[in-house]
Chain A
């Protein structure tokens, strides 16, 4: 697993177009750690306070200037001052970089224009195709299974005793990091040779049923499915909470009316509940889909993208910051962007329609 030291940070193998960092330390920090801890801590607190103070000063200045707005063009002047910090940050940090990345995707590692070579690479090379294929598998399985389990669970526990506890238990993984989730599940998938007791629950179950333990995360294809399980584990809680809230939004008269008409549980679900939570379902499916498209941490922590488990977001990071292939990384990022564009367009249309109504 070549990623051990890799997580140490990008400077290890930053791409050539990026100016190299001067080596900050000739020897690792660790050895001096015990001596500098207190000084470090003070330095850090000082940094935080300084940062907050500078920020407060800037905001104070802006508010002061807003109050001193000249009579002519007053509204315009105030609008600019209110919007300036956020808009400048967004323009410099998101808009410009996105455009720049689009251009970078047509260059090679030396920064020369190469046309669509990076895209040709992406759609012809086996390892790149595998990445795309894996991403498709993720995007098909995670939203459908998460939403399915989440919906069933939300319906079953609705208005039951202990509903809140049920909800909390499943919701908890939503609050923890993908990194933490990755480690939790790596432990479940841990392997020990058959001659020794297993410490990973999954292999123990296999052994209980008389099977041989498996190196799950190194077994191509099944390892991708096992990573997908982790993502589902994280996302179901989100689905449950949103859908449960939607279910509670259905007027109880409708459900009672259906009951009086003699509808079975299933009919009531089909004809009353499901139409009533359409909005919630759309939110859940699209949100989980986009989260899945961008999944990075789980793959990074559990396999590092090795053993045929890479996905677009992970490959983008690997290409741009490990392999020094900024062009390929940019092309992958652009594909990621294009995959989410349809949802953007849909959202903007909905939003504009509402603003027209208002």
Chain B
């Protein structure tokens, strides 16, 4: 997915979002579109070729992950009809085997979920609050704060890694050890570091996206509520949040995939043990090991792909909307 930070401006975003609605039929109306053949024969060939090229690598990996170890390592997956043989052993080994050399992906899978879900919640809520304040509480310099946050979006997270880790080591680490001493069931390595790091890196984009949407809520609605004596807190909870559900969902999906797929933040902030490290980190580690491990690597890779693929195929429209609205991420 697009980790890109970027460059997008409001008009383009809106135009694209409107176009996406038509193209992906986001409004749920049946668009009556005249279907026709591809423009020409070379165009057909090109489109087919690209479609095949883009699918084949993943397909090969999927096939291989179900083949017995000795077949994966000695024959190509395209010879599967000559070298017939299927098994689920690869999956059960990488997920369940307790042997010390096995990948033991089960706990890393839990870690990925445990990192991703809270981050999505934290980031969306904090960003919605900030976006509301920036859009609807009038104060002289508020616009400058917003532009400042927008500009932060493009600070590469590489710039923040070393100092942020130092801050965590000097403040969070002792706190975690203290909690560990108090409640032994909570390990001294917790998700807190990774959560906070991800939330920080996700906030600029989130605020920008949600601000675009929230600032478009009709002014009359807000003013009517204010006349009725509602506080900003009430307006936020009763009007803004319910009206913003579509964009909140789009952003949440976008952020979910981004965090799930991340490697760099995990490498720096997770410490790398089975207590905290997500799937991507374990996979990168497996990919770096020497030896004939394709039976493990193919199955392991597919386990990490399965959640994004499910999200992708079931929520494609919303993902596209989020992607188009914020093809930017730092």
Contacts and interface: CB of A to CB of B under 8 A. Distances in A.
B277 to A, nearest CB: 7
A197 B75 contact: yes
Chain A contact residues: helix, strand, loop or mixed: helix
A291 B162 CA distance: 21
Contacts of B143: 355
A260 interface: no
Contacts of B324: 241-242, 245
A47 interface: yes
B284 A47 contact: no
B125 A59 contact: yes
Contacts of A37: 106-107
Interface in B46-63: 46-47, 50-51, 54-58, 60-61
A201 B139 contact: no
A141 B98 CA distance: 44
A174 B154 contact: no
Interface stretch (B84-92, B128-136, B243-251): B128-136
Nearest to A103: B163
A47 B194 CA distance: 13
A304 B285 CA distance: 11
A31 B173 CA distance: 25
6 contacts: A40-B274, A89-B203, A179-B263, A183-B61, A244-B23, A249-B15
A204 B78 contact: yes
B2 A235 contact: yes
A6 interface: yes
Given A248-B19, A350-B9, A11 B271 contact: yes
B29 interface: no
A28 B100 contact: yes
Contacts of B267: 7, 9-10, 317, 321
Interface size range on B against A: 35 or more
Given A337-B156, A340-B154, 12 more contacts: A10-B268, A19-B166, A39-B185, A82-B232, A177-B262, A178-B3, A179-B287, A187-B60, A187-B61, A241-B20, A242-B16, A334-B159
A77 B204 CA distance: 23
Interface stretch (A116-124, A128-136, A219-227, A281-289): A281-289
Interface in A196-233: 196-201, 204, 233
B196 A201 contact: no
A102 to B, nearest CB: 8
Interface string B174-201: 0000000000011111111001110111
Given A7-B284, A183-B297, A330 B162 contact: yes
A314 to B, nearest CB: 10
Contact of B283 (A179, A187, A288): A179
Interface string A173-190: 111111110111111101
Given A29-B274, A51-B192, A86-B126, A336 B159 contact: yes
B114 interface: yes
Contact of B137 (A78, A282, A294): A78
A159 B7 contact: no
A320 B162 contact: yes
A139 interface: no
Nearest to A188: B57
Given A9-B270, A177-B261, A199-B76, A4 B284 contact: no
Nearest to A182: B287
A96 interface: yes
B212 to A, nearest CB: 10
